[in-house]
Amino acid sequence: MKIILSHDIDHIHWKEHYFNDLYLPGVIYRNTKGLLKKNLNFKNYTKRTNCTGRMHRIPELIRLYDQNKIKASFFFGMNRALHLSYKYQKTRPLIQDLIQNNHKVGVHGIAYKDAKYIEIEYNRFKEISGLDFFGIRTHYLRLSGYSHHLFDEQGYLFDSSFDNIMHPFKVNNMWEIPISIMDASLVENSQLNQDLNIWKENTLKRLKKAKEINLSYIVINFHDIYFSDKFPIIKEWFLWLVELLQSKDYEFITFEQAVSELNKKEKG
Ligand SMILES: [Zn+2]
Distance CA 232, CA 180 (A): 22
What pLDDT does 127 receive?
A: 98
Residues 6+ apart with CB under 8 A from 115: 150, 153, 154
The closest of 202, 218, 204 to 165, measured between CA atoms, is 218
Number of domains within the chain: 1
- How close is the Cα of 242 to the center of ligand 1, in Å? 21
**Do 202 and 186 contact (CB within 8 A), yes or no?**
yes
Domain that includes residue 108, residue range: 2-267
Residue 77 alpha carbon to ligand 1 centre in Å: 8
Angle (CA) 255-158-199 rounded to 5° is 55
CA 266 to centroid of ligand 1, rounded, Å:
31
* Mean predicted lDDT score pLDDT of the chain: 95
Phi, psi at 56, each rounded to 5° = -70, 155
> What 3-state class would DSSP assign to 137?
strand
Q: Is the dihedral of CA 136, 230, 181, 144 positive or negative?
A: negative
pLDDT digits (tens, 9 = 90+) for 76-125: 999 999 999 999 999 999 999 999 999 999 999 999 999 999 999 999 99
Cα–ligand 1 centroid distance for 110 (angstroms): 9
DSSP state of 84: B
76 alpha carbon to ligand 1 midpoint, in Å? 9
Angle at 234 between CA 56 and CA 242, to 5 degrees: 90
> 17: CA distance to ligand 1 center in Å?
15
Which residues hold their Cβ within 5 A of ligand 1, which is an ion? 8, 10, 139
pLDDT at residue 195, as a whole number: 87
Whole-number Å distance, alpha carbon 133 to ligand 1 midpoint, is: 21
Distance from the CA of 139 to the center of ligand 1, in angstroms? 4
From the CA of 10, how far away is ligand 1's center (Å)? Answer: 5
Residues in the chain: 268
Give the CATH number, domain containing residue 113: 3.20.20.370
**Ordered per-residue pLDDT tens for the chain, 268 residues:** 999 999 999 999 999 999 889 999 999 999 999 999 999 999 999 999 999 999 999 999 999 999 999 999 999 999 999 999 999 999 999 999 999 999 999 999 999 999 999 999 999 999 999 999 999 999 999 999 999 999 999 999 999 999 999 999 999 999 999 999 999 998 888 888 788 999 999 999 999 999 999 999 999 999 999 999 999 999 999 999 999 999 998 999 999 999 999 999 988 7
The whole-angstrom separation of Cα 138 and Cα 53 is 26
